[in-house]
Amino acid sequence: MAGGEGRQCHDKITWQEGGRNYRARPSIPSTESEEVRVAPGRDSDMAGIKALVGLSFTGVIGLTFLMLGCALENYGVYWPLFVLIFYAICPIPHLIAKRVSDDTDAASSACMELAYFVTTGIVVSAFGFPIILARVNVVELATESTLF
């Protein structure tokens, strides 16, 4: 296979050589085996990058509004900044579960499911904490008279 490792995949033979992917199609009638360079899936890569950029943009907007809401002179209450703790600890259960989990071939494991459950609890707490602060009157809710 021209120095690269090959594997049979249905009716195509694919291999990598020098960081490039090649595919020979034996089903095409020709005197010699054709080598066709296969470009990696750039559409799926771009979709992932676009999603990551969109999520980070909305995260920055949310954090900006959180900081502005705490720093306004009329309110001067910094309790809502404790929501940042929930944002910081949110990925920790997933990271621990990936490190501890041994079975990577299974579709689901108890450790990963527990990590998803704990992460969901943290995310719900991040939404619930400001509601509780408003309920116990630690944080004032903005009314039309306080906005202007």
pLDDT of 14-38, one tens digit each? 666 666 766 665 555 545 554 555 4
pTM of the model: 0.56
The whole domain housing 94 covers 72-147
Does any domain span residue 57?
A: no
Structurally, the chain folds into a number of domains equal to 2
Q: Please indicate, yes or no, whether residues 138 and 76 belong to a single structural domain of this protein.
A: yes
Q: Please indicate, yes or no, whether residues 89 and 133 belong to a single structural domain of this protein.
A: yes
Does any domain span residue 59?
A: no
- 1-5, 37-41, 69-73, 92-96: range with highest mean pLDDT: 92-96
Q: Please indicate, yes or no, whether residues 28 and 94 belong to a single structural domain of this protein.
A: no
Residue pair 14/27 in contact (Cβ under 8 Å)? The answer is no
Does any domain span residue 127?
A: yes
The arithmetic mean of pLDDT across residues 89-100, rounded, is 90
* Residue 16 confidence (pLDDT): 67
Rounded CA-CA distance 123/66 in Å is: 16
Rounded CA-CA distance 63/65 in Å is: 5
Rounded CA-CA distance 87/67 in Å is: 14
Does any domain span residue 90?
A: yes
Q: Please indicate, yes or no, whether residues 78 and 33 belong to a single structural domain of this protein.
A: no
* Residue 121 confidence (pLDDT): 95
Q: Please indicate, yes or no, whether residues 28 and 83 belong to a single structural domain of this protein.
A: no
